[in-house]
Amino acid sequence: MDTTLKSNISRRATWGRALFMVLFGLIYSVAEMVLVAVVVFQFGSTLLTGKPSQRLLGFGQSLSTFFYQVLAYLTYIAEEKPFPFSSWPAGKPGNHTAAQEKSNEPAAKPAGAKSTRKLPGPEK
């Protein structure tokens, strides 16, 4: 085995992230059940009152942002761990423009520096 591969396999940070990925996979599964409950309740509310529950609209939006953050972390798009390791999301997922994204990026990074890029979207 070459030294690069051996070094990559033995990196503690990679295995630590793997544990968090398993944890967020489980959290995502539980959150899916919450999503189903929200969908059913909103449908029932619409049938009975003619409109969806205003309270659940806000929660549904933050829940969808949470799903976005979890999937971004699992797919290595984001380094920041989602809730419960950060605050509960508010606002729409990915609510940003390309100009805002460019203005958030540092001018230059030293070679080999780890990315500190945060998930695009509403500020916390």
Crossing angle for the helix pair 54-74 and 12-49, nearest 10 degrees?
160
Q: pLDDT band for position 10 (50/70/90)?
A: confident
Name the pTM for this structure.
Answer: 0.69
Q: pLDDT band for position 6 (50/70/90)?
A: confident
Q: How many C-beta atoms lie closer than 10 Å to residue 107's C-beta?
A: 4
> For position 39, what pLDDT does the model report?
97
> Do 90 and 60 meet the contact criterion of CB atoms below 8 Å apart?
no
Helix (H, G, I), strand (E, B) or coil at 8: helix
Position 111 pLDDT exceeds 70: no
How far apart are alpha carbons 85 and 75 in whole angstroms?
17
> For position 108, what pLDDT does the model report?
45
Q: How many residues does the chain have?
A: 124
Long-range contacts of 110-114 (CB under 8 A, 24+ apart): 114/79
Q: pLDDT band for position 123 (50/70/90)?
A: low
- For 30-86, write each residue's pLDDT tens digit: 999 999 999 999 999 999 999 999 999 999 999 999 999 999 999 999 999 999 999
> Do 94 and 78 meet the contact criterion of CB atoms below 8 Å apart?
no
How far apart are alpha carbons 103 and 49 in whole angstroms?
44
- For 82-110, write each residue's pLDDT tens digit: 999 999 998 776 653 333 344 444 444 44
> Do 94 and 119 meet the contact criterion of CB atoms below 8 Å apart?
no
Fill in the DSSP letter of residue 91. Answer: S
